[in-house]
Amino acid sequence: MKLRIKFSKHGSMKFIGHLDIMRYFQKAIRRAEIDVVYTEGFSPHQKMSFAAPLGLGLYSNGEYFDVEVGSITTTEDVLNKLNAVMNDEIEVRSVVILPDNAKKAMSMVGAADYTVSPVNNEYDFKKAIDSLNDFYGQSEIVVLKKTKKSEKEVDIKPLIMSLCADENCISMRVSQGSENNLKPELVVSKLYEFAGVSYNQYDLAYTREDTLSFNEDLGEYVGLDKFGV
């Protein structure tokens, strides 16, 4: 039986990287006495796989991982047992049972929703969002993408699915996954550049609100937990 677990990550836990979060949940599952399934061989490990890794320094309300278990009582029981052993800044938000033919969470990711709010320098933030409609209305948004061997110009406009703001927050949906992956920091830094203000990532709080996959039956993107019961 496979479970998909959704969790949030806030506070100082935003500084804990992806590999350490994996180790954290491996230990939490043991402490919660979940009947997890292990691989065979000389070095058995829990059958667990995470969806899109979260960038260091970002908060999240919608992180996911899949885990194989031998048995459970109810999904609510698993949720309660895990939250009983959680750090205060990580919370398990849902547990669903996946169908036998379900794809792994990592392979399903196609987009993600983010919000961005100011923690310092609200004047520059306000100036940036005043330019947002003109910025997003451009026919293309070109950035210089650098690799270890070269650099090239890339149009990121097709990867921005939606972009809007009010006086307190920028909201966006961007393409994410193995094929096309756009970091929200890149979008905001280009917005600041367009607005003629200096960008400092530490002046802003980034939150991934949910990690999404396209549901063909509904014809829209939904959270990864919507593919289970």
pTM of the model: 0.93
SS3 of 134, please? helix
Q: How many angstroms from the chain centroid is the CA of residue 60?
A: 6
> Does pLDDT of 122 surpass 80?
yes
The model's pLDDT over 123-168, given as tens digits with 9 standing for 90+, comes to 999 999 999 999 999 999 999 877 777 788 899 999 999 999 998 9
- How sure is the predictor about 207, in pLDDT bands with cuts at 50, 70 and 90? very high
- Kindly give the pairing relationship between strand 111-118 and strand 170-175: antiparallel
DSSP string, 147-163: -SS-EEEEE-GGGEEEE
- How sure is the predictor about 178, in pLDDT bands with cuts at 50, 70 and 90? confident
Enumerate domains of the chain plus CATH numbers.
2-107 (3.30.70.580), 109-227 (no CATH)
The model's pLDDT over 182-197, given as tens digits with 9 standing for 90+, comes to 999 999 999 999 999 9
The model's pLDDT over 65-104, given as tens digits with 9 standing for 90+, comes to 999 999 999 999 999 999 999 999 999 999 999 998 889 9
Task: Give which of 118, 127, 130 is closest to 206, Cα–Cα.
Answer: 118
Mean pLDDT for the stretch of residues 32-61: 92
> Does pLDDT of 112 surpass 90?
yes
